[in-house]
Structure 1
C-alpha cells in the first residue's frame, strides 16, 4: 500500500487508523448485545424478565407479550448505547460527525420508537399463532414474516426514511436533468430526484435509489452535491441504477422474505425441543416466557448467516460498478469518484482479508479502482 498510486500514505494511514479505533467498539456493541440476548434466552432470567414486565401492565398473557417484547428491545438498545457513543466520539475526531449529542440521542429514541412500533404488533401476532398451535405456529408465521419483509421494503422510503431525514426535490438544472437522463437511458423509471439533509449528521458522501415501482426515487446526500463534481455524482447514481437494472432491490426483497420465512421455520422447530424450553423457563412456544428464547434463536441465525450475506452483497456491488462503467463509459471519472468517496468517508482502502470475509458489504476502494482500470467496453461507448 505504500506505493499505491491512488492514495497517499497519509490517506491510507488515516483510513486504517479510523478502522482500528472504531472497530473494537462496533464489535463490542454487537457481541455484548448478542451475549445479553443469549443469556436471557437460554436461562430462566429471560422468563423472569417477561413475567416482571408483564406484571407492570396487569400480568395478563397479552401484557406479558407486550411487556416482554418492549423490555427486550429497550435492554438491547441500552446495552448498545455506550458502544455507539464511543464510535460517535471516534468518528467526530475524524471530522465525520456534524450532529450534536442531543440530536444523536433523539435519533436513538426515534429508532427505539420505530422498532417498538414494528415489534409489538408482530409479537402479538406471533403469540396469537402460538396460542392456536404451539407446535405448528411457524408455518403461517413464516408466510406472514415473508409478507412483512416485502411490505416494509415497499413502504420504507415513504414511512421510515422520513423519520431520520428530510427530503427536498432537487432543483431544476443540468444535474437533475443528467440524472433523469441516465435513468431514462437505462430504462429505469424513477418517480423523483430528492436531496437528503445528511449534512446535519455527517460529512460522509452517498447517494442511493430506493423504493419499488411507484415509490422509486433517486436520493443524493446534500454533502455529495456540495463536494463532488457533477460527473462524479452521475457515476454514483449510475452505480445505484445498476441495482435497479439488475433488480437487486426486488431480488433482495424476495431473498429477505425467504430468509425471514426460513428463520421463522428454524426458530419454530428449535423451539419445540424441550431441553431448550426447560433452559429458558418456558412451558411451550405458546408461553410468553419463551419470547427471549425465540429472540436468541433469531439472533444466532442472523450471526451465522452474516458472512454469507456480506459475500453476496460484495458480488452485487461489484456488478453495479460494472453497470456504472457500461452506462457512462467513463472509467477515469469512476476512479476519481471512488477516490473522493474513500478519502472523504475516511475509508480503509484495503482492509484485512478476514474483516472483508466477515463483515464487508462492498469491495474495497483499491479493488473497485483496479476493476475500473481493467474494464473495457463490450458494445462500444455509451450514447452521449
Structure 2
C-alpha cells in the first residue's frame, strides 16, 4: 500500500524548505571541509610540528608547554577557521526567521564553546602524551581503555556540565501538561526525575524536546518555543518519541558503541602514529614527540569524517524506531502526523531532501518519510470494518494504559550544547 502523499505540505512550503537547505549547504559543507583540510595540512606536513614548537616556545619550550600550547593552538585555529562559515549559516537562518539571538549573544556562545573545548581537550592531550612518553610504541593499549571510560563518563556528565553552559533550565510549572508528561513516562515504565523548560527562544524559533540524563539525572526537557507553539497533545507525541530512546536504551547502546569506537580509534591512532613515513611527513620523531600532536589530530579527524555516513544511517534507523514507539505508546497517528508537520514548518525543514544528502548527512528520516511511516503503522492496525487503530486494533482516542515493568537504561540523546540537536 502506498502511504505517501503530497498533500501534507503545499508547494510553497516545500519550496521554502528547499531554498533554506540550498542556501545553508555551501556554508555547512564549507565549514566542514575547511576544518578538515586545515587539520590535514597541519597534521600531514611539517607546518603542524612548527606550530607546536613555536607556541610551546612562548611558554618556556618544555614538553608539557608544547603539548598544552600546541593542543590549544589546534583548537583555536580549527574553530577560527570555521567561524566565518558559522556566521554565514546564521545569516541565512536569520533571513528565514529562525534566529532570535543577536550577534553579541552568538559571539558569546562561540567563546563559551571554545572555552568548553579547551577544558575538554587540554587534559586529554596531557594524558595522551603522558602515555606516549611511558611507551611510544604501545601507548595505545592503555589509551584504548582510557578512551572507552572517558566516553562513558562524558555521557553521564553531559546534562549536568555541558547543557547548562548554553541554556538555562527551569522546572515546568505544575499543570495539566506537566502531569500528562509524567504520566506518559510512568505508563512507559520510564523513571523521570523532573520536567524542565529550556530557554531556547533566546537563540531560535526552532521547536524541540528531549529526554537527557542517566538514572537519577534523567529529565524531560522541552524548548520554550515548543510549549508556546505546539498543542499539548503534540508535545506529548514529541516526548513519547524521546521516551522511545530510553525504552530501547539507545543512548546506553550508543555510549557503549561510542566507547568501543573510541577504543578502536585509539588503536588505529597508535598504529598509524608509529608509522615512520607519516611521522617523517609530519616532522615528528615518534609518537612521544609533542610535534606528533597535529598528526594524531589529523588521523582522528579523518576517521571521524569517514565514519560519518555510517553513523548517520544508524541514527536514522534509531529515530524511526523511536517514532514507532511514540505511535504505539499514544495510539495517535493523526496527532503524530500533525506534530511532524508542525516541526517541519517551524524549523523550515526540507521535507524531502535529495537522497544523496540524506544518506551522507541526515541523522533523522525526512518529514515525508516519517509521515508515511505513521500512515503505514496506522494501516497495519486498521480493523476489518475500516476503522483505523493501532496495531492489534488499539484505539486512537488517546494514550492507553500500557504500563510495563521492562527495565530501562541510559539517557536519550539531548543537545550536545555546542551544536544544536536535530529535531525529533
Q: TM-score w.r.t. structure 1 length?
A: 0.99
Counterpart Cα distance in 2 of 1:13 and 1:226: 26
Partners of 1:56 and 1:345 in 2: how far apart?
A: 46
Query: Which structure shows the bigger proportion of residues in helix conformation?
Result: 1
* CA displacement, residues 260-319 of structure 1 (integer Å, 9 cap, x when unaligned): 111111111111110000000000000000000000000010010000000000000000
Which of 313-322 and 249-258 deviates more? Answer: 249-258
Q: CA shift at 1:378, angstroms?
A: 2.8
Q: Answer yes or no: is the 8 Å Cα contact 1:196–1:221 preserved in 2.
A: yes
**Larger deviation, residues 345-354 vs 137-146:** 137-146
Deviates more, 1:256-265 or 1:342-351: 256-265
Counterpart position of 1:234: 236
Contact 2:331 2:400 in 1 (8 A): no
> How many residues matched?
383
User: Where do residues 1-384 of structure 1 align in structure 2 (5 Å cutoff)?
Assistant: 4-375=6-377, 376=381, 377-379=390-392, 380-381=394-395, 382-383=399-400
Q: Distance in 2 between matches of 1:252 and 1:181?
A: 27
**Equivalent position SS for 1:348:** coil
Q: Give, in whole Å, the separation in 2 of the partners of 1:105 and 1:135.
A: 42
CA–CA distance in 2 between the matches of 1:85 and 1:190? 37
**1:103-126 per-position Cα deviation (integer Å, ceiling 9, x unaligned):** 000000000000000100010000
Partner Cα separation in structure 2 for residue 94 and residue 17 of structure 1: 10
**Cα distance in 2 between the residues matched to 1:256 and 1:103:** 32
User: What is the alpha-carbon distance in structure 1 between the residues aligned to residue 391 and residue 350 of structure 2?
Assistant: 31
Hey, what's the Cα distance between the residues in 2 that align with 1:260 and 1:118?
A: 15
Question: Equivalent residue for 2:421?
Answer: none
Deviation per residue, 1:213-264 (Å, 9 max, x gap): 1111100000000000000000000000000000001011111111111111
The gaps in structure 1 that reach 5 residues or longer are none
Q: Deviations over 1:323-373 (max 9, x none)?
A: 000000000000000000000000000000000110000000000000001
SS of residue matched to 2:349: coil
Write the distance in 2 (CA, Å) between the matches of 1:307 and 1:10.
30
Distance in 2 between residues matched to 1:53 and 1:140, nearest whole Å: 29
* Structure 2 unaligned blocks of 5 or more: 382-389, 402-424
User: What TM-score does the superposition give when structure 2 sets the normalisation length?
Assistant: 0.89
Q: Could you give the per-residue CA deviations for residues 25-73 of structure 1, whole angstroms, max 9, x where no partner exists? A: 1000100010000000000000000001101111000000000000000
Structure 1 runs (4+) deviating above 3 angstroms are none
